Structure 1
């Protein structure tokens, strides 16, 4: 009886160190004359036909553009260069989603501040990735639930037949 309890507690503590598997979302964006985002679940599956909301820097409460991703999880939009700043893009599908920020620079400042290394740096930074997973509170609740489940299972089998 104690052996079962010991094995159950050991497995429960071993489960504490294992990562929690969540169904998070990853969004990548590439800025050319327009911004292309590619939304995928953590499994690599594209977020086909996901809802996309684009918010301009001056108005973060009202969508500047709305649409859906294609079958490959891609969506393109051309931000208004007259509104430089942080553009926010929300991608949502079936209870999963992510909000990512895409910086758009003022073109008049880019031309005046160009230096020999600027183009090479821009090329190397052209693909940016953003992802979201479980918050620390969600991770704690998940880990606590798993441990509680292991302890309950161990106690159930440790009680024996009556």
Structure 2
């Protein structure tokens, strides 16, 4: 009985230590709202605003040269007014201390095309798996836990088997 206890106690310890919460130290989330201007809301994955982050806006006609630059306020917000004579996809890059993200903001004629594509599911490139959320469902967590448990159990059985003496 003591042998089994000594064997399963470390397995129990490792399974408890291996159980972790969702880590989101480097995740960011950037959203935009259209008013008379475009307002960028930049937050970390944990919900804290990206205050004083560097913002770079690229126009659709010259995506390699910054159209304007600036910094977010303390709430992680940045507002700019795109040139209406340049319809298309404006790209906004927000970075702070090695964290950041890039978001595309449709402006003008491309806005209607983007809405039609999103509503119609017009993703003809076969990359629809990119649209799914990265959050794990309860079923995924249960299957992963069962697979991990089976791995521990199988390893325990492998090392606990009695070898025949020749």
TM-score after normalising by structure 2: 0.57
When Rg is computed on C-alpha atoms for both structures, the one with the higher figure is 2
Q: Which has the higher contact order (CA 8 A, sep 6+)?
A: 1
Unaligned residue ranges in structure 2 (runs of 5+) = 1-5, 113-132, 135-147, 153-166
1:106 to partner: Cα distance: 3.2
| 1:70 equivalent among 48, 68, 73 | 73
| 1:31 equivalent among 29, 34, 39 | 34
Question: How large is the RMSD of aligned CA atoms in angstroms?
Answer: 2.9
CA contact (8 A) 2:91 2:102 kept: yes
| 4+ residue segments displaced more than 3 Å | 8-12
Structure 1 CA distance, aligned partners of 2:39 and 2:97? 22
| 1:102 equivalent among 105, 113, 124 | 105
Unaligned residue ranges in structure 1 (runs of 5+) = 111-131, 134-146, 152-162
Matched positions, count: 110
**Cα deviation digits, residues 33-69 of structure 1 (max 9, x gap):** 2101111112222111100000111211111110001
Q: In structure 2, the residue corresponding to 1:64 is in which secondary structure?
A: strand
Structure 2 CA distance, aligned partners of 1:19 and 1:84? 43
TM-score after normalising by structure 1: 0.59
